[in-house]
Chains A and B, each alone.
Chain A
Amino acid sequence: MSVQTPSSPASNAGQPLAFVSAQALRERMHEAVNDTHLRQSFRGAMDFLMAKRAVQFPDPEELDSLRVLSEHIRQYSLSKLPDLLEQLETSLVRNGVQVHWAETPDEANAIMLEIARRHAAKLIVKGKSMVSEEIEFNHAMEAAGIGALESDMGEYIVQLAGEKPSHIIMPAIHQTKQQIAKLFAEHIPGVEYTDNVDALIQIGRRVLREKFEEADIGLSGVNFAVAETGTLCLVENEGNGRMCTTVPKVHIAITGIEKVVEKLEHVAPLFSILTRSATGQAVSTYFNMITGPRRSTDQDGPEEVHLVLLDNGRSQAYADEQLRKTLQCIRCGACMNHCPVYTRIGGHAYGTTYPGPIGKIISPHMMGLEQTHLLPTASSLCGACGEVCPVKIPIPELLIRLRGEAQSAPRADPAMVGQGAAYDPKISLLWKMWAGLYSRPSTYRAFSWLATRFRALTPARQRGWTAARTPLKPAPRRLRDMLKDRT
């Protein structure tokens, strides 16, 4: 199965959008790199987002202080994660929220399907939730005959097109307004073609307001879950998140187990650095803090609130001190905005729910290294992602670690599922010999002497290297010999 390319929208609408294999990564990257429209869309959007972020951090000293604090809050929270999850559960239950735990996407979907069936739900309206993408929620509901409608404008567009988001913050970033105009005219009854952005947004508003009014269940993600108060925090600009969590009778929130913080005040710096890093906004239009369902004195709000806590490989990352840093992520997307690879290939080429640098380090835990071992290699290790990360995740170090996990010989007690998936004894031996030659002066001297003398024997075809480059060949003379000649 190949990933849907943005130039052919809607061709698999209604079809299962199961995760695509990362094995074909190289092929998809090649296609993406040769798609000039796609290249222009992403280049323009990433330049825009990088410039907007830079404006939000005029004072490097303030940025540094806020990053250190944000990193500390996330690491502190993770250091007590199981305690905080139990505290969160206790607080939520006290507030009247029903808490569910799921180890796998299937379990999470089954839990939510059961809730939907209990309420005889026909329509679920959705606020933006990457975890719901991760578990293929829409597909699971549709298979059970329940409508699941995206209401974030970008997600709505992507759903109409039968695609998946190409960016975790701006899902429809790969679509031009002309493509969206065509999509609306084709799919929404009574709508004529217009590529006026205001008009398009008003069409979306009109269609989706009807759905907010009639939906049985609202689904949302969670940006931060506060253990001490049992509060679910949501960051958004459009107001659809508020609609989904306020208007329908039932609100289901779903989140990964890593999103919990201990104290309410911990969300203040994280919220600030999140919006500034993500879209270069000083603040989002709405910051929505939900503490329970409709109380006896309240006049509105959902009668039931559920929280689904999903593991899906996160506890595997947690088990290793270095890999645990992956879970510090607050999903701002700054790493993709600044990634030279993401900018050139776009979000779909990765073939995973989370694209870009964060996708490369989190997907292997969710999907196993068999499917994802090529992802960490899709990087120049330039370090931009680690430099802009608001919680200082050492993404380049983690990419190197994951390459090592994939390439090393299978071990008895591996740190992750699929360890050794890319192990090749021949290549491994070659690198061991290389390391042996280069780590001792005597062997290195002998090797370089031989290499310069027998340079004519260098093979012309050198695997991937020569696919787009001239062959590597030793120089006619060694540096040490040339230095000796200097007087």
Chain B
Amino acid sequence: MSARDKILGRLRAHMPAEAMMPPVLEAHYAPRARGESKAERLRRFRTGIEGFQAQVHLTTEDDWPTLLSALCAQKQVHTLMFGGLTPAGRRLMTTRFETTVLRSWEGQVETLKADLFHRVDAALTHARGAIAETGSLILWSSPEEPRTLSLVPPLHFVLLDAATIHPTFFDALRYENWAAGLPTNALLVSGPSKTADIQQTLAYGAHGPKELIVLVINAEGEAS
């Protein structure tokens, strides 16, 4: 008999005859729903993620490429990598960057790995959404924006549409029905990478990005 059959056999022999009633998650979440405005959700998201040392800039659909260009110059980004096939990527192709070399992701990671680790200073990806309660960005990997793009370069820019901010993680995955089809990698990101493993002293830039900069579009009604 295989290990699988033996383990399952032991568990089955003692499994309760009747399964418990399934948990009802609404009972916890519904009474705490806030019915807040879009601006209030953005404010909560911003407070949350800024508390984790991320920078947030409010901008517009028209202006974000220019802002990104200015931030790249200010941060002395030599090479910025992005997904060339996304709508944001196509916008970037037509934007003038003074000092930064734009490079779109081409091909499989194997041909790019050394550059990603040693020569790309920053990356831009878009966020699928965000979570107000915890100040988290939702990133889904895709062929256009692969997993390593938001992980390996030391500076990570994220483009977020304020209309896609959910009150809680539960709301996001329930109302977008994530269970019906997940990407290879779905991620919540709340700030640059960090650690407190040495004497509980917080240090940023552990293994992932050292800096996280969020460009929020569609944030009308919110002062900058």
Contacts and interface: CB of A to CB of B under 8 A. Distances in A.
**Do chains A and B interact in one complex?**
yes
Interface of A: 44-45, 48-49, 62, 65-66, 69, 72-73, 75-76, 79-83, 85-86, 101-103, 107, 151-154, 157, 170-173, 175-177, 180, 197-198, 200-202, 204-205, 208-209, 212-213, 228-229, 231, 237-240, 242-243, 246-247, 257, 262-266, 268-269, 271-272, 279, 282-295, 297-301, 309, 311, 315, 318-321
Contact of B148 (A81, A175, A263, A300): A300
B10 A315 contact: yes
B135 A101 contact: no
Given A79-B19, A238-B208, A291-B183, A69 B198 contact: no
B130 to A, nearest CB: 12
Contacts of B168: 268
B193 A65 contact: no
Contacts of A298: 141, 143, 146, 184
Contacts of A171: 197
B186 A65 contact: no
Interface in B121-173: 131, 133-136, 141, 143, 146-148, 151-152, 168-170, 173
Nearest to A292: B184
B84 to A, nearest CB: 12
Contacts of A48: 200
Nearest to A319: B14
Interface stretch (B33-41, B72-80, B88-96, B174-182): B174-182
B203 A201 contact: yes
Contacts of A82: 8, 11-12, 15
A385 B184 CA distance: 37
Nearest to B5: A101
Contact of B23 (A266, A293, A319, A321): A266
Given A85-B11, A213-B117, A272-B169, A76 B197 contact: no
A44 B182 CA distance: 42
A295 to B, nearest CB: 6
Given A285-B208, A289-B187, 16 more contacts: A44-B200, A180-B198, A200-B198, A201-B206, A208-B207, A237-B194, A239-B208, A263-B179, A265-B174, A268-B168, A269-B170, A272-B169, A285-B193, A286-B189, A299-B109, A311-B3
Nearest to B52: A285
B224 interface: no
A151 B207 CA distance: 9
Nearest to A66: B28
Given A257-B7, A279-B196, A265 B187 contact: no
B27 interface: yes
Tell which of B14, B25, B32, B206 has the most Cβ of chain A within 10 Å. Answer: B206
24 contacts: A49-B200, A69-B25, A73-B23, A85-B8, A86-B8, A152-B197, A175-B198, A201-B206, A209-B117, A213-B117, A237-B206, A239-B206, A240-B206, A264-B178, A265-B25, A268-B168, A284-B190, A285-B190, A285-B208, A286-B188, A299-B108, A299-B146, A300-B108, A315-B10
Contacts of A176: 199
B22 interface: yes
B105 interface: yes
Contacts of A198: 203
Contacts of B99: none
B206 A286 contact: no
A197 B201 contact: yes
B7 A101 contact: yes
B7 A202 contact: no
Nearest to B209: A239
Contact of A297 (B3, B114, B143, B188): B143
Contacts of B143: 297-299
Interface string B204-220: 01111100000000000
B193 to A, nearest CB: 4
Tell which of A62, A289, A292 has the most Cβ of chain B within 10 Å. Answer: A289
A291 B182 contact: yes
Tell which of A265, A268, A279, A285 has the most Cβ of chain B within 10 Å. Answer: A285
B28 A285 contact: no
A318 B11 contact: yes
A301 B184 contact: yes
A79 B14 CA distance: 10
A360 B203 CA distance: 33
B11 A153 contact: no
B205 A201 contact: yes
Tell which of B170, B184, B193 has the most Cβ of chain A within 10 Å. Answer: B184
B105 A299 contact: yes
Contacts of B197: 152-154, 157, 170-172, 238
Contact of B134 (A263, A282, A300): A282
Contact of A157 (B6, B135, B198): B198
A67 B80 CA distance: 44
Contacts of B195: 153-154, 201, 237-238
Given A172-B198, A242-B208, A264 B146 contact: no
B198 A153 contact: yes
Nearest to A321: B16
Contacts of B203: 197-198, 201
B65 interface: no
Contacts of B11: 81-82, 85, 257, 315, 318
Contacts of B221: none
A79 B15 contact: yes
Nearest to B170: A268
Nearest to B136: A283
Interface string B92-124: 000000000000010111000110010000000
B184 A293 contact: yes
Nearest to A245: B185
Contacts of A213: 113-114, 117
Contact of B109 (A157, A177, A295, A300): A300
A297 B107 CA distance: 11
A85 to B, nearest CB: 7
A103 B3 contact: yes
Contacts of B207: 151, 205, 208-209, 212, 238-240, 242-243
Contacts of A102: 3
